[in-house]
Amino acid sequence: ECVCEKNKRVTNCRVDNARCICDAVGSGVTVDCTTLTSKCLLMKAEVMGSKSGRREKPKDAFEDTDGLYDPECENSGAFKAKQCNGTTCWCVNTAGVRRTDKHDADLKCNRLVRTTWIIIEMKHAERTAPLNAESLKKFFTDTITNRYLLDGRYISNVLYENPYITIDLKQNSSDQSPRGVDIADVAYYFEKDVKGDSIFHNNVLNVSIDNEALTLERTVVYYVDEIAPEFSMKSLTPGLIAVIVVVVIAIVAAIVVLVSSNK
């Protein structure tokens, strides 16, 4: 037997050719514990764990089911392009995020669209003095390359705008090496870490800049695909529609003022 250091949601661990391999909970797919497990298999294990009551929860945890569903995965661990919940179906990207309106089971998803850019935005707790931007950049760059095994060339930016920290991960399908990790998997591991629900076995991430622990109040992940998503206006939230309307009115008003001043 062996311990899967990079995924605690596994069973039946054994050594094979000096590597630790295990079966992912929920799917039974064999995973290599020397690298990250795919997001699809992790989500499937998480859903299975929450259904059975076996999932380990932080003491301050409360239920948040937004974005979590029981996905269909390929044998490779990748998301299937079409995901369904009963008779309701939708298309997803390589990060498993819905990129179309929800339809009936007749929906066609021609291919799995690649997520090429992931933006991780964090907000830290109020401080008396801002963080050192270079120290912050070094911490997150080192963490992403060492803990999540992502090649540093895919970290396009680490920006600090007190109190916001933004990390940009960019990766095209042609860029990724056969055994390299995917930015979607990295972002999922990272998000779980900073929210106190680490996927790693007994290895909590301590966010510390210049030997000072950093408290993160909010973390949001945004996804940009190689092909624009296909949402209709009716699927947009009222708040977003209101913002669009206000912007349009402001533009029209500016044009009217400009035309009037030129007369």
Token pair recorded at residue 197: 């629900």
Token pair recorded at residue 171: 């990766």
pLDDT digits (tens, 9 = 90+) for 173-209: 777 776 789 999 999 999 999 999 999 998 899 999 9
pLDDT digits (tens, 9 = 90+) for 135-145: 999 999 999 99
Q: DSSP letters along 153-201, please?
A: GGEEEEEEETTEEEEEEE--TTTS-TTPPPHHHHHHHHHHHHTT---SS
CB 209 within 8 A of CB 136: yes
The pLDDT of residue 68 is 82
- Helices 39-52, 183-194: axis angle to 10 degrees equals 40
Per-residue DSSP letter, 233: G
The pLDDT of residue 256 is 62
CB 109 within 8 A of CB 84: no
CB 115 within 8 A of CB 94: yes
Output the average pLDDT for the chain.
86
The pLDDT of residue 258 is 64
The Cα–Cα gap between 115 and 9 comes to 25
CB 104 within 8 A of CB 214: no
CB 142 within 8 A of CB 207: no
- Record the pTM: 0.82
Domain ranges in the chain?
Answer: 10-237
Give the sheet arrangement for strand 115-124, strand by strand. Answer: 155-161, 164-170, 115-124, 216-225
The pLDDT of residue 250 is 60
The pLDDT of residue 197 is 92
Is the per-residue pLDDT at 50 higher than 70? no
The pLDDT of residue 86 is 87
The pLDDT of residue 65 is 34
**Mean pLDDT calculated for residue range 76-100:** 93
Q: Which region among 9-23, 52-66, 247-261 has the lowest average model confidence (pLDDT)?
A: 52-66
The pLDDT of residue 1 is 82
Length of the chain: 263
CB 189 within 8 A of CB 205: no
Query: Pairing state of beta strands 30-32 and 164-170?
Result: unpaired
Token pair recorded at residue 12: 């039946």
Q: Bridge-partner residues for 83, per DSSP?
A: 90
Q: Three-class SS of residue 91? A: strand
**Mean pLDDT calculated for residue range 31-44:** 96
pLDDT digits (tens, 9 = 90+) for 130-174: 999 999 999 999 999 999 999 999 999 999 999 999 999 999 877
SS3 content of the chain, % helix, strand, coil (to 5): 25, 25, 45
Q: Three-class SS of residue 82? A: strand
Q: Select from 103, 44, 104 the least CA-distant residue to 74.
A: 44
